[in-house]
Structure 1
Amino acid sequence: MAFGRRNEEEVKLEETKIWVCNSDHCNCWVRDNFKSGGSDIPLCPICKTEMSLTTKELQVIPNHSKNFM
């Protein structure tokens, strides 16, 4: 019997664009498709410092927000 056994779905990873805070004292990062605001270079939601674009291997999470696009 297999009590408590679940069928584990494979976690899908993908190279994802993220924005990383430039401050030495902050380790905040945000996925590119979840950033807010219309500016080309977003500000950190925590410390309000400019952020830099980079990539990271992350689990795929779609953003279905109507505010995005």
Structure 2
Amino acid sequence: MYSSRKKSQEDVPMEMTSVWICSNEECNGWMRDNFSFSNEPTCPQCKSAMVKGEKKIAVLANTSPVQSK
């Protein structure tokens, strides 16, 4: 009989989410739109401009009481 110590991974719900994506092709930076502090953020990694886009990522609620939007 086989038993594993690893916990079984539960299915994480995924959905299309609005994100900011770095415009620099050499940078992989992105952030969720509802986690940004600016209406037009700059990339925290390379300081380039960011453009709006969408990614299919895990559902995550922003419970921060401070949202500038």
TM-score after normalising by structure 1: 0.78
- Note the 1:43-54 alignment, pairs <5 A: 43-54=42-53
CA RMSD across the alignment: 1.9
Alpha-carbon distance in 1 for matches of 2:26, 2:52: 18
1:9-58: CA deviations, max 9, x gaps?
32101110010000122110001111123xx2211111111101010110
Alpha-carbon distance in 1 for matches of 2:61, 2:24: 28
Change (3 A) 1:6 1:24: closer
Alpha-carbon distance in 1 for matches of 2:9, 2:29: 30
Which structure 2 residue ranges, 5 or more long, are not aligned? none
- Percent of aligned pairs with the same amino acid: 36
Alpha-carbon distance in 2 for matches of 1:15, 1:61: 12
Residue 5 of structure 1 and its aligned partner are, at CA, apart by: 6.4
Which structure 1 residue ranges, 5 or more long, are not aligned? none
